Amino acid sequence: MNSRLNISLGRLRLQNPIIPASGTYGFGLEFAKLYDINCLGALCIKGTTVQPRYGNPSPRIAETEAGMLNSVGLQNPGVDKVTADILPRLRAVYHQPIVANISGFSIEEYVQLAKQMSDAEQVELIEVNISCPNVHNGGMAFGTDPSAAAEVTAAVKAVSDKPVFVKLSPNVTDITRIAIACEQAGADGLCLINTLLGMRIDLRTRKPVLANKYGGISGSCIFPLALRMVNQVSRVCQIPVIGCGGISTASDVIEMMMAGASAVEIGAANLTDPYVCMNIINELPQLMDKLGIDNLSDIIGITAR
């Protein structure tokens, strides 16, 4: 591997900054049949909940201009199955850092998930998705309220021996307030952005395209928004930021890192080109040569200098 691509996420060292985003790469086993996934910097597994979830009714995926809508609903087999069966099978074929994405519906569920993922020897980093509804607080999402975001961050940190990165929702007025709250509560890093809430209507049926009415927008259409939010957060927080949202090319990776990201997650692009992560990793050295970049770590947050 090319050492020029090496980056650090706190105490975790990655061979390159490329991480498939949760929910777009399954548990990695599917992609391992296509190419050697050990080329990745790290691998973020599908979002995991305490109980198995079968997700939302269909249709739950829809194309839109320069992107897609999804309302999958966190379909997954539950944390017991993931830790006892899936993670050992993934480690047998993948030897780079594994990121566990967890989603709870209460503080107690986040704590249980964090404990089990922290105890899983295969997991190097825990990514806390705070976009799920807080059913103990009138349905308000953890990710839209600074105090709620801080509460779940502190609770997870209290039971986890692994680094904790909090994945932020963009569906807020000021994402920096949420980011600062998470940092002050002990987060080791942040990941942003998750999908934005959107909708499409079928003109013939006059009904929403998605059975759930609304869904998350991802794809290249949200890249400028993600770039702006990553830049804003990296300017006010001292912890590492993983940039996510609309990244599909090596140029996007460079741009996101210049905005302040230490690493990137690639999401929707995996669904249109299953080889996109591998291709970007192969293309980065040539682009770096063209742009006069010696090491990727040199350009992190360069726009703020």
In the set 44, 132, 237, 244, the catalytic residue is: 132
As a whole number of angstroms, the distance between CA 170 and CA 153 comes to 17
Which 8-state DSSP code applies to residue 10? T
Identify whether 132 is a catalytic site residue. Answer: yes
Q: What is the DSSP string of 130-198?
A: --SB-TTTTT-BGGG-HHHHHHHHHHHHHH-SS-EEEEPPS-SS-HHHHHHHHHHTT-SEEEE--PEEE
* Biggest distance spanned by C-alpha atoms of the chain: 55
Q: Compute CA 122 distance to the chain's CA centroid, rounded to the nearest angstrom.
A: 18
Residue written as token pair 């021996």: 161
b/e per residue, 61-80, with b = 16+ CB within 10 A?
ebebeebbbbbbebebbebe
Catalytic machinery residues: 132
